[in-house]
Amino acid sequence: MSQRPRYPQELRERAIRLVREHRSEYASEWATITSIAGKLGIGPEALRLWLRRDEVDQRRRPGLTSDERQRLRDLERENRELRRANEILKAASAFFARELDPRLPTR
């Protein structure tokens, strides 16, 4: 199950936009982030992570985009389910092979 985001997407987008718009008014990006985060009532580290994730999604920074990360999670989940199903089928196959083979003693 996915968790509901703590902050609405609109707030995230607004915070990112504000940091980009006001970056030139501060001595550093971190100073901009802490100021904007304080004004919006969010944690500066959360805002910094949103900025980095947005940079990756915009292909300004290397890494997996949000869509690629979701696709990877989905594929890994499917892989786990298929491995589990495969183990169940192997166990069932071995069980029925023992049941149907007259040469093997039954339990």
Q: Which amino acid is at 13?
A: E
Residues 10 and 39 in one domain: yes
Measure the N-to-C terminal CA separation of the chain; round to a whole number of Å.
42
Look at residue 88 in the predicted model and tell me its pLDDT.
96
Residues 74 and 55 in one domain: no
- pTM > 0.75: no
* Inter-CA distances, 23 with 15, 28, 36, 53, 58, Å: 12, 7, 10, 18, 18
Residues 48 and 93 in one domain: no
Mean pLDDT of 78-94: 96
Range of the domain at 25: 1-63
CA–CA gap between residue 31 and residue 34 (Å, rounded): 5
DSSP H or E segment with residue 83: helix 66-100
